[in-house]
Amino acid sequence: MAVDAPTRSPGDGPPVLEGTSEVATPGLEREAERAKARQGFLLGLPTIVYLLLFFVIPLGFVVAYSFATRTRSGRTELRDFNLDAYARLGDDIVMTVAWRSLWMAVVATLICLVLAYPLAYYISTRSPMVRNLMLVGVMIPFWSNFLIRTYAWRVLLDSDGLVTQAFEFIGLGDGRILFTSNAVILGLVYGYLPFMVLPLYAAIERIDWSLVEGARDLYASGWSAFRRVVWPLSRPGVIAGSILVFVPSFGAYVTPAILGGNKEGLLGSYIVLQFLSARNGPVGSAVSVVVLAVMLVATLVYFRSGGKNL
Amino acid sequence: MSKGVAKSTAEPQGFSRWLLRGHSLGVFVFFYAPIVVLCIFSFNDSNAVGNWNGFTLGWYEALFDNDNIQSSIWVSVKVCVFSTVIAVVLGTAGALALERFRWWGQKAFDAVLYLPIIIPDVTMAVMMLVFFNEAAGWLDWIPGIDLQDGLEKLVLSHVAFNISFVSVVVRARLANLDASMEEAAADLYANRWQAFRRVTLPQIMPGVIGGALLAVTISLDDVVVSSFVSAVGGTPLSVFVFGMLRKGVSPLVNSVSVVMLAASMALVLASLVISRASGSEREER
Amino acid sequence: MDATTNGQHPAVELTGVSKRFGDRSGTEVTAVDDVDLTIGDGEFYSLLGPSGCGKTTTLRMIAGLELPTAGSIRIHGEEMGLRPPNKRPVNTVFQSYALFPHMSVAKNVGFGLEMRRVPQSERKALIDWAIELVEMGSMAHRKPTQLSGGQQQRVALARALVNRPEVLLLDEPLGALDLKLRHQMQVELKNLQREVGITFVYVTHDQEEAVTMSDRIAVMHDGRLLQVDTPEAIYERPTTRFVADFIGKTNFLEATVAGADEVVLANGDRLRLPSEHASGSAVAVTVRPERLTVHRRGEAPADRHTVDGRVETVTYLGNAVVYGVGVDWMHLEVRCPATLAGDRRDVGDDVTVSFEPQHAAVVTG
């Protein structure tokens, strides 16, 4: 019951050198490798074309818009390229919004770090079962509807909402923080806290605890073992988490729109305003480019500091 | 597992231990309390939101009687299905091209593929708005695309960010797949296509499904990009609800919110279960 | 077996095969360097060497998983050229087994037949035959994840053998198994090879494994083929210091070639040993520890070659005694069958170490 060995039928596969030649020509292997590279490129081509068309080119348009001219009627025309829009970035109103965005994002990031670090530490010291359960508990808010989660706070913070009532009941004075910067920071913290917990957990979980044992063995107190061993080793997670919270907070739009009212707009809100109400494409685009640049710098910092994936 | 034994030292003792425990509990309360309150109040039989006035399902009935909500749900579903299917195909192909081949320009493609994940959604929204403004003229030349209807614009822009999420998930799965598995298939007379279909695809399937669920979730949740590109009358549910809840708290918004939240949580749980199931299968081996 | 298998051509023939890997920074690494080898039909042929010596790359080039930078690979006289792995009459047992985890054992084994469109009716019989061959009949419906390492190894073997390849390539197939199972599988593999009569090309870094199973061994180092010979010849008559050292324990006596069949040891003693090295070149004479004998000083038989020294260490191993003997210009290790304590030499004893000239071999310095 012999099975025939597979024999080559003409016309399939790459060219085959026939038996006459003594030695295969050097370089054909390179050609085969190049053919394989071509296959890979072709496989990726539709995706490349799509991203080029619907991501890279739109990005190019935004950059072009930031140098474009705005007509009296509010149309943006791609002619007479100039730096007017960037000059406008120095205006008081833009600077006010920019500084507010910056400090709110920084405060939100710090609060997230303070809240998330002990939690991530606690999760990573649990038994695998409990750990997985707690992780799912963090993952659910991580991926579930951001808009609605933010809205939930509006329900709580409303003038007759539970939090407000509770504040007044305890006698902490006026509990109405809705439409203040505190409400916006609260919303940012609530929205992006999982972004801090998960990378921190990933970093702390990787720590070799025998190092801590070693430190304890060398008469380090619990606290100094943490400060000298655990904290430095978890720093990549701290950096990753901080960037993941800072970047979206800096360009936030939904959170201030729901919890900040019209007063507490951030850069994201300002961009939307420029496009949808003020009809000033160049300025809106210029601010977008700046936000994008901040994001890119933060990401580069992250990759430089040894981060691998987001 | 020596690691598990050693962890006892990692656990603080005494007071700080209780502090840590209390803190963690507090954070979880912080995560879930607003959601729970929202759910409870969606059953509140009152026009005012803050005071409990008895149980009712009336707001859910109102939700299903509301034509605007009905039609925006349809928009959401259509956009979500089309954009997910396209993003899964393109994202998986992109993941394969990056993970299994070496070619010129690969690094640049890799970087561009990451961008939509980290770009702030306002920037993405502005990009799409500007692009459709400028390119409407020549996009209309492509047969089958009619930009007047916002649906195409929604699908095109959702695909643009979902490709990246799908390909990240699929790539993670591919990277864990023993490359000698594909070599074995080739060694056993399978051509490239057969090797992919019979060996690679079945094994990356959990990644593909996980990526698809992620794409569905993100597509349904997106507000900012969608509100920039959707046409009047053709808004998806998230944009419609955003408009409603910016105006203020109302019991109807509560019930819509609960439905949306439940849908997105179900999707998250499903993708977590799938990734867990395939993960444990790997551990067994 | 079939038309392509005939006595005129060796099973595998490599001529001037080289493989260079270039990375993006432009540096090139030569993994395989101008290798010529000929593997006979039905032979059990081992490629032996330390990790990174190019043996696995050589195997992968025969399989078609890697293409040579230069040179020609022929299987039964047929030039392989750029032919992809799925069009080559060989099958491979991978180091990691590479079983498909989503298919049952039977599906795994039948995969190659299915790809080659062997009719369903024949397929069943072939699968049964292969599974029986590796004694996995009761496990046909299990998934690979439900099998032990040894069982997975058998399935991988059956999956390759069911296709009746002209040549079976094995890449350290026993590497992941524990020592006891490995010994058992060595015997089984050898028997299996005799039974099916297929040429085996076996890659391993374990010299004992290679010596136990092979008809011939090719020792590789740094991408080059150092010596190809039967296990006995490799062990008894190594031609290079590396081969002598890699296969088992040995002693080296520094020497210089003095003529076509004479070498001069470092202490001036002359030794009649044939070698192909030019007169005056520095070489070493290698003698295995068990080929050396220890005598009380001056009691060695006259027909043996002798070196005087002093016992420095005595190690009792149960079935053998190993003496470390210091000679003024070097140190020798001597392995003797165990004798009763009273008959052993002690540390500090003056002794004469002897060996028969035919048990020594000249290797490159």
Summarize pLDDT for C30-42 with one digit per residue, the tens: 999 999 999 999 9
Residue contact A271–B116, C-beta within 8 A: no
Residue of C nearest to A26 (CA): C70
C4 interface with B at CB cutoff 8 Å = no
Q: Which of residues 223-262 of B touch A (CB under 8 A)?
A: 223-224, 228, 238, 241-242, 245-246, 249, 253-254, 257, 260-261
Q: Is C333 left (phi over 0), alpha (psi -120 to 50) or beta?
A: beta
- pLDDT for the residue numbered B181: 93
Going C71 to C76 to C81 to C82, the CA torsion angle's sign is negative
For each of the domains in chain A, give its residue range(s) and CATH number, in order of start.
90-309 (1.10.3720.10)
Q: Are β-strands C216-221 and C199-204 bridged in parallel, bridged antiparallel, or unpaired?
A: unpaired
Selection from C13, C286, A288 nearest residue B119 by Cα:
A288
Cβ-Cβ contacts under 8 Å between B and C: the total is 67
CA–CA distance, A245 with A239 (Å, rounded to integer): 10
Tokens 């015997």 correspond to what residue?
A: C187
ipTM topping 0.90: no
**C156: exposed, middle or buried (Cβ count in 10 Å: 0-12, 13-18, 19+):** buried
Q: Which phi and psi (to 5°) does residue C356 adopt?
A: -85, 140
pLDDT of residue B277: 65
Per-residue pLDDT reduced to its tens digit, C305-352: 888 899 999 998 888 899 999 987 789 999 988 877 667 888 999 999
C86 contacts B285? CB cut-off 8 A: no
| CATH code assigned to C12-236 | 3.40.50.300
Local confidence pLDDT in tens for the 310 residues of chain A: 344 434 434 334 334 444 433 444 556 778 888 888 899 999 999 999 999 999 999 999 999 999 998 888 888 888 888 898 899 888 898 899 999 999 999 999 999 999 999 999 999 888 888 998 999 899 888 888 899 999 999 888 877 777 777 777 776 666 677 788 889 999 999 999 999 999 999 888 888 878 777 777 776 677 787 888 888 888 888 988 998 899 889 888 999 988 987 677 788 999 999 998 888 889 999 999 999 998 888 888 877 766 554 4
Residue in A16, A20, A21, A39 to test binding to C, most C beta-carbons within 10 Å: A16
3-class SS at C187?
helix
Whether residue B202 and residue C102 make contact (CB cut-off 8 A), yes or no, is: yes
CA dist., res. B106 & res. A292, Å (int): 23
- Find the mean pLDDT for residues B23-47: 90
Which chains reach chain C with 3 or more Cβ–Cβ distances below 8 angstroms? A, B
Q: Are C300 and C354 in contact (CB under 8 A)?
A: yes
Long-range pairs of A172-179 with CB within 8 A, sequence gap ≥ 24: A178/A154, A178/A259, A178/A261, A179/A259, A179/A260, A179/A261, A179/A263, A179/A264
Report whether A194 contacts A141 (CB < 8 A): yes
Q: Do A61 and B51 touch (CB under 8 A)?
A: no
CB atoms within 10 A of CB B141: 7
Structure tokens at C255: 């020497």
Structure tokens at B42: 């969606």
User: Subunits that touch chain B (at least 3 Cβ pairs < 8 angstroms)?
Assistant: A, C
- Name residue, tokens 């140098």: A67
Q: What is the mean pLDDT of residues B263-284?
A: 70
B191 neighbourhood in chain C, CB within 8 Å: 84, 86
Contact B268, A144 (CB under 8 A): yes
Mapping DSSP to helix (H, G, I), strand (E, B) and coil, where does residue A39 land?
A: helix
Amino acid type, A32: A
Regarding beta strands C167-171 and C199-204, do their DSSP bridges make them parallel or antiparallel, or are they unpaired?
parallel
pLDDT tens-digit series, residues C229-279: 999 999 999 999 999 999 989 999 989 998 878 888 888 888 888 888 888
d(CA C219, CA C228): 6
Distance from chain centroid for Cα A115: 19
Question: Left (φ > 0), alpha (ψ -120 to 50) or beta: where does C185 sit?
Answer: alpha
Taking CA atoms, B119 is separated from A27, A210, A222, A249, A271, in Å, by 43, 39, 40, 12, 14
Q: Which residues of B touch C (CB under 8 A)?
A: 178, 180-181, 183-191, 194, 198-199, 202-203, 281, 284-285
C222's torsion region: left (phi>0), alpha (psi -120 to 50) or beta?
left
Q: Which residues make Cβ contacts (< 8 Å) with residue C175, sequence separation at least 6? A: C95, C204, C206
For residue A34, count other CB atoms closer than 10 A to its CB.
12
Interface residues of chain C, partner chain A, Cβ below 8 Å: 1-2, 4, 15-16, 67-74, 77-84, 86-89, 113, 116, 118, 122, 125-126, 129, 163-166
CB–CB of B75/B144 below 8 Å?
Answer: no
Instruction: Tell me the average pLDDT across B128-133.
Output: 92
CA-based nearest distance A51→chain C, Å: 26
- In angstroms, the CA C95 to CA B62 distance is 64
Q: Is the pLDDT of residue B78 over 70?
A: yes
The token duo for C97 is 């087994």
Q: C167: closest CA among C143, C139, C196?
A: C196
Give C110's contacts (C-beta < 8 A, 6+ positions apart): C123, C126, C127, C162
pLDDT value of residue A310: 44
| Cα distance between residue A218 and residue A231, in whole Å | 18
Task: Find residue C331's DSSP bridge partners.
Answer: C326
Residue with tokens 């062997």: C118
Parts of chain C belonging to CATH 3.40.50.300: 12-236
Cβ atoms B174, B97 nearer than 8 A: no
Is the pLDDT at C7 greater than 70? The verdict is no
| Closest-CA residue of chain A to C117 | A6
Beta carbons within 10 angstroms of residue B244's beta carbon? 17
Smallest Cα–Cα separation from A249: which of A310, A202, A181? A181
Interface of B with A in 56-115 (CB under 8 A): 90-91, 93-94, 96-98, 100-106, 109, 112-115
Residue A59: burial class (beta carbons within 10 Å; 0-12, 13-18, 19+): buried
Burial class (CB in 10 A: 0-12, 13-18, 19+), C7: exposed
Minimal CA–CA distance to A227: which of A121, A305, A128? Answer: A121
Q: Which of C96, C102, C115 sits opposite B190 (nearest CB)?
A: C115
Cβ atoms of C319 and C308 within 8 Å: the answer is no
| Minimum distance, in Å, between the CA of residue C296 and any CA atom of chain B | 55
Nearest CB to A36: which of B101, B134, B228?
A: B101
How many angstroms away from the CA of A18 is the closest CA of chain C?
6
Residues of A in contact with B100 (CB under 8 A): 40
What tokens does B256 get? 């819509």
**Long-range contacts formed by B21-25: CB under 8 A, 24+ apart:** B21/A122, B23/A115, B23/A118, B23/A119, B23/A122, B24/A118, B24/A119, B24/A122, B24/A123, B24/A134
Which pLDDT does position A10 carry in this prediction? 38
| B198 neighbourhood in chain C, CB within 8 Å | 100, 111
Among candidate residues C308, C256, C287, C297, the one with its CA nearest the CA of residue C358? C287
**CA of A266: how far to CAs of A96, A260, C114, in Å?**
9, 9, 62
Cβ distance of A24 and C72 shorter than 8 Å:
yes
Tell me the C-alpha to C-alpha distance, in Å, between residue C236 and each of C44, C247, C277, C291, C357. Answer: 20, 10, 18, 10, 12
Q: Which helix (H) or strand (E) segment is C55 a member of?
A: helix C55-63
Q: Do A19 and C74 touch (CB under 8 A)?
A: yes
Preferred mutation among C13, C67, C162, C196 to probe A, highest tally of A CBs within 10 A:
C67
Nearest to B189 among C86, C94, C102 (CB): C86
pLDDT score for A264: 72
For tokens 């079962």, what's the residue?
A129
Q: Answer yes or no: are the C-beta atoms of C293 and C335 closer than 8 Å.
A: no
Which CATH code fits C249-364? 2.40.50.100
Which residue in A7, A29, A31, A36 has the most chain C C-beta atoms within 10 A of its own C-beta, making it the best mutation to test that interface? A29
Find the residue in C nearest to A35 (Cα): C82
**pLDDT for the residue numbered C140:** 92
Beta partners for C284? C254, C363
CA dist B87 to A85, B183, B213, B214, C302, Å? 35, 28, 11, 11, 87
Inter-chain touch C113–A12, beta carbons under 8 Å: no
Q: Do C116 and B285 touch (CB under 8 A)?
A: no
The shortest C-alpha distance from B89 to chain C (Å) reads: 22
Q: What is the pLDDT of residue A306?
A: 60
| Helix H or strand E segment including C337 | strand C330-337
Inter-chain contact C4–A26, Cβ cutoff 8 Å?
Answer: no
Mean pLDDT, chain B, whole residue set: 85
**pLDDT for residue A33:** 83
Cβ atoms of residues A101 and A267 within 8 Å: yes
- Strand runs labelled E in A187-295: none
Q: Give the residue extent of every domain in chain B.
A: 14-59, 60-284
State the fold for domain B60-284: MetI-like fold (1.10.3720)
Alpha-carbon distance of B175 to A23, in angstroms, equals: 37
Q: Which residues of C243-278 are buried (b: 16+ CB within 10 A; e: fewer)?
A: bbebbeebbbbebbbeeeebbbbbeeeebebebebe
- Cβ of B129 under 8 Å from any chain A Cβ? yes
Contact B28/A at CB under 8 A: yes
Confidence of residue B6 (pLDDT cuts 50, 70, 90): very low
pLDDT band at B109 (very low <50, low <70, confident <90, very high): very high
8 Å CB contact of C84 and A13: yes
User: Which of A55, A115, A118 has its CB closest to that of B20?
Assistant: A118
Q: Strand C199-204 relative to strand C44-48: parallel, antiparallel, unpaired?
A: parallel
Contact C266, C365 (CB under 8 A): no
C101/C106 Cα distance (integer angstroms): 12
CA of A36 vs chain C CAs: smallest distance (Å): 11
